[in-house]
Structure 1
Amino acid sequence: MKLQHLAIGARFEYEGQVFVKTGPLTASSEDGGQRIIPRHAVLRPLDLPSVEGKGRLEAPVVRMAFNAFVETCEQLVGEAGQAELEQARQRFLKAIDSSRPL
């Protein structure tokens, strides 16, 4: 794996040392030193997130989660923000209805 494929903060092994990516070309070693990692370097990623085959989201599940989110927002924004929140809700629903399947 190449450094540009790792997120900032990701841990990886390079030349027998463990590093944490701190920038586009830089990393900090566990010993505390900074190092420039060449773009051509092949790295061994550590702590990769497990990838589960979740597939696509089902529209009813997204709508239920979004409605629960909106209910919480309604309690937080008070009366003054209700109309604006409802407009945002309608824009979101319109956007997902007019887009391709989730």
Structure 2
Amino acid sequence: MRLQHLAIGARFEYEGQVYVKTGPLTASAEQGGQRMIPRYADLKPLDVEASPTAGEGGGRVREDDVRVRAAFNHFCSKLRPLLTPEQGEVFDEAAAEFCRKLR
């Protein structure tokens, strides 16, 4: 999948690291720091689906939704490393449900 197919705030893996999309060509690493991601890069989406298509909500994501998703993904990236594996599984399920309810 290409970066342009992901919504801002979407988590993905690239070159063995997990990132959150923050702009059209930029992403924040979960370990910290910003990086430009090439348009040709092949990415592995993690827990957020690709941007909606024209048949699903008109193909536009409301700015508020984007900001909420980005803030929530940042929160998750800070909290997740502090959890035990069992707590992490429950947290991941709850986070996925939260993201589904934003749609």
Higher relative contact order (CA 8 A, sep 6+): 2
Structure having the higher Rg = 1
- TM-score by length of structure 1 reads 0.47
- TM-score by length of structure 2 reads 0.46
